[in-house]
Chain A
Amino acid sequence: MLQLLVGQTLNGVIVGTLYGIIALGVTLTFGITGIVNFALGEFMMIGAYVTWYMFDIAGLPYPLAILPAVAIAAGCGFAADQLLFRFTRNNLINGLLVSIGLISIIEAAALVLWTTTPKDMGYVLSGAFRLGAVSLPKMKIVVFALLAAVMFLTYAALSRTWMGRAAYAFSQNPEAAMLMGVRTEILQSGVVVYSTALAGFGGALYASLYSLEPAMGGLYILKGVEAAILGGIGSLIGSVAGGIILGVTEAVGSIYLPGAFRDAYGLVFVVAILLYQPAGLFGTER
């Protein structure tokens, strides 16, 4: 029983970091542009499918397959920003609805290109580590390490560099930041593109572990938003912590309760948090 618990917890942590990277994108986008980009899940899907294509079809080695995936996801993110999100800054409802329209378009395009048949990428790294009776696939550890590294680097960049401080200042007081010379348009576009790049990266790593289908984006953005709310929208640490807490809760919860309701735990959690601690676990209300 203990090994089941440990195994599930570890699984939950790893899935949680995937939720976390989306949540990070959600929090960043909300903090700087004032909207929630529901289409982030689709950018994750784009990253996943491009990686699959590059690795399985084009035969590139995995690390080289990830690069175009992230680039293409970021490129699409840039296009989306220039065509759409540029016009919905700080308008939450409009931004939400526009991103939902975007989801329809991207998901339909994916269906046309790749159909609903799930795509399974070949093994990148086979084999597993054994911890007593618990077996943890090596690739999962690699994915976890990479995601954790990227999230940590993002956090470091935002708290130590001038660029990060400018971003923080902007999220606190846009007018003042502008008057101080922060190039707000570039900052906002940059954040949108960066969060889509993060999502694409998450997707690229996702592809090495799970099978792909066009509907995957919808599930992950929901989890990402739940995790972001859990940790507190506006807090970087919160989004990561929220993701992991959500992942672990789902994984451990499905031991004791029907697996079909796995998705419900996050929802109930979120409702409870919003009612009692609207700022989330780590958040500062914007």
Chain B
Amino acid sequence: MLLEVIELTKRFGGLTALSDVSFAIGTGEIVGIFGPNGSGKTTLLNLITGILAPSAGRILWKSTEIQGQSPHVIAAAGVVKTFQNPQLFLELSIYDNVAIASHLRLRRQYGLRRLAELLPWRDAARHSEVMQRVDRILALCRLDSVRERTAAGLSYGQEKMLGVAMAMMCEPDLLLLDEPASGLGEDEIRTLEEVLRDLRGAATTLCVIDHKVDFLARVADRAIALQQGLMIAQGAPAEVLHHPRVIEAYLGRHHARA
């Protein structure tokens, strides 16, 4: 098991955002987590990536406890997320955005020797290597046509893709996507699904968090349903979607079938 979440709980003052949630993600899976707004999806994501520390429970990444650690440490360990509202370096070009994201790769590749990389001729030598990786990832995310633009000149869908591209530059073992489909049109969602499958093909484990159930059903191998901080169902997408509690959560009690 790559990631294990064990009895994770988070309270904000009197409000319990997440209560006793436990699940695991295995290598190579695409796991979908869904639930209506307020179900605790984003809190769960922030707990895994270190932006929040849990009130109780543990998170194991490759059998090591990571709950409460700094975001950059968790990112360096191989867990990277994208933002629901695309976060970019707006003043910079797309190339620069993705190049900054290659920071982790540089660290892993060189360790402390990267101080030698300060020397101008070393930097130039690495440049072509970085260019190649950038090109590869931009192509993977269907962004190669807009390479030269500044990050501010993209459409919303392209911005989201750039977020994914930047996350991929970190060579994560687990990529967490926060509502990647929200705000996208049907075509863009199809493109997103293709990209996600390509990413899995490139040996990245994915965890997609969204509230668009049909999108999740198409993409995920396994689904987890959350409601009001509780996990109410887990299993194959088809099963979970027909689970009475899930239907009740989404459509109300009248629609739940016994």
Task: Indicate if A touches B (C-beta under 8 A).
Answer: no
Seen from chain A, the residues whose Cβ lies within 8 Å of a Cβ on chain B are none
Chain B residues close to A by CB (< 8 Å): none
